[in-house]
Amino acid sequence: MSTISKENYLKAIYQNLSLGVAATTSKLSNDLEVSNAAISDMAKKLSKEGLISYEKYKGMVLTKEGKKIALDVIRRHRLWEAFLAKVLGIPWGEVHNEAERLEHHSSEELINKIDEYLGYPDFDPHGDPIPRSNGNLPDAPKFIPLTKTKVGTAYKIARVNDKNTDLIRYFTKIGLKINGKLKVVDRLSFDDSLHVEINGRPFTFSEKIAANIFVNEYNPETEK
Amino acid sequence: MSTISKENYLKAIYQNLSLGVAATTSKLSNDLEVSNAAISDMAKKLSKEGLISYEKYKGMVLTKEGKKIALDVIRRHRLWEAFLAKVLGIPWGEVHNEAERLEHHSSEELINKIDEYLGYPDFDPHGDPIPRSNGNLPDAPKFIPLTKTKVGTAYKIARVNDKNTDLIRYFTKIGLKINGKLKVVDRLSFDDSLHVEINGRPFTFSEKIAANIFVNEYNPETEK
DNA sequence: CTATTAATTTAAGCATGCTTAAATTTATGT
DNA sequence: ACATAAATTTAAGCATGCTTAAATTAATAG
């Protein structure tokens, strides 16, 4: 049987794997803020239930069924984020924490109603793609980490990491928003910090901040 | 510390006491669908935490603090019901089950946003009063159970029990709605079944159904 | 290649909130 | 009043999902 805890484990495994990061015991221990022993324990259970495949000391991979559950949890999470932001005007930096709890307590019918209400959106307020009810992700260009962009080039801001409320508040403050334009002015090789321009104003991002921002090619034709 | 389970116990105790029903072990066991032993167990814990006062074999009473939590859970429940019905158009018979889960997973900020969005409503879709954020209940005339009404009199439908989806679906089907008019035509002494008129159409309610409907005086002046 | 370090797993234990079965207390009928 | 029934509590046990500490396996440096 699936529980809140198992949903969270599956989601965390999915999110690591989808970023190309191995779902190891220590990585998950860090992500989920529980001990290594707890991860090891749960890995056995999820494996026995056929939701992950797991060999001792080797990390975890989702089975088809495990992936389906993970995507469903993510769907619920992102739809809640979009819904709360749109209807209640909750700031995009704060919807994550609410969604983190609500995602485990909503019927499929409720989630589909929210989806319908929002007009079947493809992305949540942070630019993350929302899995459809059939489990597919909408097509979208692959996100480019701001850390890997070219100096002198303009990009479209496509996604920010949804997990840090304070950082997103700062983004709001400086006018950084999804689908906005960002120009990479310079990158200091000393610390990989970035000089960028947003709405004509200059800002400097540490590498750590830049790692939370993702962009796409900027296409002046399709933008206003 | 308060948990989902404790919130549910406190809510159930409150709801019994507010109907003038003693919060005994067996009553709560029935309401919460757990064993008598579980109730007994929890009674000790809640008592130790100062949320109820409890003497063995004597039933439970909420302390001030326990009542505060109970009212807060009820507030969350009823605001969710109102919100889901209004925004998503979820039928009034179905919002209860969703609210039953969401009530335990919403921050105070979220609940207050919902309250604000709805314009600080006094009643939920079933006619139940919504506790305010300060813990007070809105003033309202006391509900009269349909079972205690006078034959030949017209009443305003004020509240229905929110717990039975099927029954509420039936109410919808026959045009029974909150604030609607209902005339008591006859009561059979044999089984206390009621003949009523709603929108000019006659219906018969068993006593069991009537016990789930509550009314107020009908005032033709204030009604349209 | 081996010693040391890092990562992971196993073992034992704990809190929560249930269960069933047995014991106990309270209520009821005559 | 007193036997019986009903209600309640106690006892023992279980599943979940954690913890810390010890044991084990894998990775890495020299």
The 10s digit of each residue's pLDDT in B1-56 is 899 999 999 999 999 999 999 999 999 999 999 999 999 999 999 999 999 999 99
Fold topology of B75-138: Arc Repressor Mutant, subunit A (1.10.10)
Provide the chain A residues 63-102 that lie in CB contact (below 8 A) with chain B: 84, 87-90, 94, 97-98, 101-102
Is the pLDDT higher at A222 or at B120? B120
Question: In the prediction, which pLDDT does B211 show?
Answer: 95
Q: Is the pLDDT of residue B197 over 90?
A: yes
Segment A91-133, tens digit of pLDDT: 999 999 999 999 999 999 999 999 999 999 999 999 999 999 9
Return chain A residues 10..49 having CB < 7 Å to nucleic acid strand D. 33-38, 41-42, 45
pLDDT band, very low/low/confident/very high, at A223 (cuts 50, 70, 90): low
Tell me, yes or no, if the two domains A4-62 and A75-140 fold the same way: yes
Find chain A residues with C-beta within 8 A of B102's C-beta. 102, 105-106
The DSSP symbol for B177 reads: -
Q: Is the pLDDT of residue A222 over 90?
A: no
Q: How many C-alpha atoms does A101 have within 13 Å on its Cβ side?
A: 14
Where are chain A's structural domains?
4-62, 75-140, 144-217
Domain A75-140's class? Answer: mainly alpha
Q: Which whole number is the average pLDDT over B117-141?
A: 97
Distance CA B153, CA B134 (A): 37
Min Cα distance B96 → chain A (Å) is 12
Q: Which whole number is the average pLDDT over A207-211?
A: 96
Distance CA B15, CA A14 (A): 43
B174 touches chain A (CB under 8 A): no
Q: Which whole number is the average pLDDT over A207-223?
A: 88
Distance CA B146, CA B148 (A): 5
For chain B, the average pLDDT equals: 96
A151 touches chain B (CB under 8 A): no
Fold topology of A4-62: Arc Repressor Mutant, subunit A (1.10.10)
Q: Which segment of A139-153, A155-169, B208-222 scores lowest on mean pLDDT?
A: B208-222
Question: In the prediction, which pLDDT does A224 show?
Answer: 47
Cβ atoms of residues A94 and A81 within 8 Å:
no
Return chain B residues 54..73 having CB < 7 Å to nucleic acid strand C. 56-57
Closest listed residue to residue A39, CA positions, set A5, A73, A79, A15: A5
Question: In the prediction, which pLDDT does A221 show?
Answer: 63
Is the CB of residue A41 inside 7 Å of nucleic acid strand C?
Answer: yes
Q: Is the pLDDT of residue A33 over 90?
A: yes
Question: In the prediction, which pLDDT does B224 show?
Answer: 47
Segment B150-186, tens digit of pLDDT: 999 999 999 999 899 999 999 999 999 999 999 999 9
Percent of chain A with pLDDT over 90: 96
Segment A75-89, tens digit of pLDDT: 999 999 999 999 999
Percent of chain B with pLDDT over 90: 96
Cβ atoms of residues A25 and A36 within 8 Å:
yes
Find chain A residues with C-beta within 8 A of B104's C-beta. 105
Of A102, A113, A114, the CB nearest to B105: A102
Min Cα distance A57 → chain B (Å) is 35
Domain range A144-217, CATH architecture: Roll (2.30)
Is the CB of residue B48 inside 7 Å of nucleic acid strand D?
Answer: no
Question: In the prediction, which pLDDT does B40 show?
Answer: 98
CA dihedral A132, A15, B99, B45 (to 10 degrees): 160
pLDDT band, very low/low/confident/very high, at B222 (cuts 50, 70, 90): low
- CB count within 10 Å of CB B136 equals 10
Q: How many residues does chain A have?
A: 224
Provide the chain A residues 106-135 that lie in CB contact (below 8 A) with chain B: 106-107, 109-110, 113-114, 117
Q: Which whole number is the average pLDDT over B99-116?
A: 98
Q: Is the pLDDT of residue B220 over 90?
A: no
Protein-covered nucleotides of chain D (CB closer than 7 Å) are: 7-12, 16-22, 25-26
Find chain B residues with C-beta within 8 A of A87's C-beta. 87, 117
Q: Is the pLDDT of residue B219 over 90?
A: no
